[in-house]
Structures are given as C-alpha cells and as structure tokens.
Amino acid sequence: MLRTKVLRVDPTHPDPAVIAQAARILREGGLVAFPTETVYGLGAHALDPRAVRGIFAAKGRPADNPLIVHVSRPEQAFALAENPPEVAERLAARFWPGPLTLVMAAAPCVPKETTGGLDTVALRVPDHPVALALLEAADLPVAAPSANLSGRPSPTRAEHVLSDLSGRIDAVLDGGPTGVGVESTVLDVTVDPPVILRPGGISRERLEEVIGPVAEAGDAPAERPRSPGLKYRHYAPRARAVVVRGSPQEIAQALDRLLSGFESSGLFPIGCLVSDETAAALSKAWPGLFLLGARNEPEEAARRLYEGLREVDQPGVALIVMEGYEESGIGRALMDRMRRASGGAVVGAGELARFALDACKAASDGEIRP
C-alpha cells in the first residue's frame, strides 16, 4: 500500500515549493488529488496511458467512463480538440476558468484510456488557484475525475478524498473546502444545438445567454449522444436515500411524525438533509440532521450536499431523507445529484412515513438474513 502524502496549501496563495512537489509526482506518472472550484479531482498525466490507467484502478472506475482533461489556459484545451466549433470559443471566453466542461472531437494525441475509447474528449479550465498553479507547474494536460471511490459522493474536502483513497494515491493537495460543491456542467458541442450531458455549476440559462438554445440529454433520449458516466450509480451514500417534496412546514410535520416514532428506542435510523426553514419548523432538534442552508439559496445547498451525504451516512442509518429544491439555475444540478443519490426515489411529504418504514424494514431484514 502507498503512503498518501497530505500536502497542505493556502487555497488562494499556494506555496510554489509545495505545488512543485505535486507537479513532479504528476510528471513522473503518479496520482495527485487537488481542489477545484467544484469538487476535488484525482489527477494524472492525461497523455500517458499508464498514468491514466492508475486513476481507473485507484477509483475502481469502469474503463469505458471517460475522464475530463484539465488545462490552465483555453489555448491548451483547443490544442487537444480537432476543429473546435465556434460556439466552444465563445463559451470558453465567457466561462473559463470555471465549472463548464466542453466535449469536442479529440485530437489524435489524446489516448483512448483518457476518452474511454470515444473519439471525443472532455476539456475544462478549472477556476481554483491551487488547480491552476498545479496545472501551470506540471505543464501538462491533467485528466481528473472526481477524487472519490467510484459510485460514492464526490469529495468537497481533502478529508473526503482520504477517507476514500488513502493508500491508493500518491498525494492530496489539501486546499480546504471547495466552493461550488457540485461538478461542472458537461456540454457536448459536437452537435447543434449543443446538449447538456450533465447539469452542473453553470446553469442552462447562463449558457443560453451566450449561445442561444441548448438541449438537455433527457430532451430526446433516443437520438442524443449520452455521457457514458450517466449509466452508472452515482453520488450514492451506503444507506438508501429519498428526496421529499413539499413546503418546509409539510416536510417538518412529516419528519416530526416519523422521528417521534423512534424516540422511545433512542436509536434513529434516519438521516435528514433539510433547509434551515424546515429545521426551524421541527418540534425539536432531532439527531441526524444536517442543514443545507436557506431554502431560497440553492447555491449553498449545492455546496453542502456531498458533505451532508457523507456526514449522515453512519452505521445504523437505513434511510437518508433529502429535502427537494426548486429546479432552476443551479437547483437543476442540485436536484439531479439528489435524484442520483436516491436512485430516482422522490416522494411527497405525505408519502414519506410509508417509504421510510419500508426502507427501515428492508434494512433490518437484510441484517437478519444470513
């Protein structure tokens, strides 16, 4: 087993000597996790097939799920694409560095390991001083998926990276918590109109301000190219999860009713990710609550979601209840990640008790079964 080095850096003014140490590991074909503005990425030299295979091995990631290649300047991204379309240049000028990934035809130098065997490549310039310093110092394109074990929630802190990958990677640059909290928007610009393959940090509305109408992968499923990653279970806690819809009062009432049923046992097999308003409307501060911030601030909820999923996912917890948010702006990406974590389970407040009791029963049956 490797001993994973933890390299602490100031998130806004990273020490060049520490960055140089991490850059050297990348240049030698090693694996370094680093913060971006969205989530932590697990980086390797994108043009070195052996280094890239190391990412798949460390994460347990299926080999057909392609990686995003990170560079520090737009020109470097376009050098890895074949005939970049004009819309890509307009989007890059507006949103890079930032949480937008563009899928373009791949230049021949990009290995199949990186593209998962596709003839396209996903490219982005991240907006984080540590990521940019590392990319500049390494002077390489860096392939970096989220730095979690495949299927687990993405890491928004170095501690999350270590809890999944300690002993499996060479180093992590610890630059503190990330800002956006959900991953970049993945936009396929090889088709007209471009298609959002994964909603993320840049909303559809903001893209449309720059290039006019864009489609979403769900709009016309049969004809649209799909992002290979979307077919896998994602962002998933170990416990079952469900999204609950309703006003804070309705959700608080449903949770009070549900949780008071466990009070006599003193064991609460339910974790709850709720808005401040819902928490305030509860009859008491139940164990297992994690606050997502104000209901009208989906940015804050996006920033906290993955941390909350990891925090409430304790042994003995059979079900995680996540409060649903409105699906506009970044709320779209937030709800996409919540639905993936719950495997698509969404219920109204009135149906929660029923769903929760079934989930708890299934969990305890599972424990008794040999």
Question: Where do contacts with ligand TXA occur on this chain (CB under 6 A)?
Answer: 36, 38-39, 41, 65-68, 99, 101, 103, 115, 118, 120-122, 126, 144-146, 183-184, 186, 197-198, 227-230
**114 contact choice in ligand TXA, Mg ion, none (CB below 5 to 8 Å, kind-dependent):** none
Determine contact, residues 333/201, Cβ cutoff 8 Å.
Answer: yes
Q: From 127, 130, 111, select the one nearest 119 (Cα to Cα).
A: 111
Q: From 114, 158, 225, 163, select the one nearest 7 (Cα to Cα).
A: 158
In the block, residue with structure tokens 């090889």: 190
Residue placing its CB nearer to Mg ion in the complex, 84 or 201 = 201
Whole-number Å distance between alpha carbons of 249 and 259? 15
Q: From 12, 23, 65, select the one nearest 233 (Cα to Cα).
A: 65
Q: Output the six-digit token pair for 253.
A: 């009432």
Residue number with the shortest CB distance to ligand TXA? 229
Residues that bind Mg ion (CB under 5 A): 146
Residue placing its CB nearer to ligand TXA in the complex, 141 or 248 = 141
Q: Output the six-digit token pair for 335.
A: 């709800």
Residue placing its CB nearer to ligand TXA in the complex, 158 or 321 = 158
**77 contact choice in ligand TXA, Mg ion, none (CB below 5 to 8 Å, kind-dependent):** none
**301 contact choice in Mg ion, ligand TXA, none (CB below 5 to 8 Å, kind-dependent):** none
Residue placing its CB nearer to ligand TXA in the complex, 188 or 323 = 188
Sign of the C-alpha dihedral, residues 240, 187, 129, 302? negative
Closest CB 125 distance from ligand TXA, rounded Å? 10
**103 contact choice in ligand TXA, Mg ion, none (CB below 5 to 8 Å, kind-dependent):** ligand TXA
Residue placing its CB nearer to Mg ion in the complex, 59 or 295 = 59
Closest CB 212 distance from ligand TXA, rounded Å? 22
Residue placing its CB nearer to ligand TXA in the complex, 295 or 332 = 332
Closest CB 74 distance from ligand TXA, rounded Å? 16
Closest CB 156 distance from ligand TXA, rounded Å? 11
Give me the helices (H) in 145-243, please.
158-165, 204-211
Q: From 74, 80, 76, 107, select the one nearest 92 (Cα to Cα).
A: 74
Bridge partners, residue 216, by sequence: 196
* CB proximity list for 360: less than 8 A, separation 6 or greater: 269, 270, 318, 319
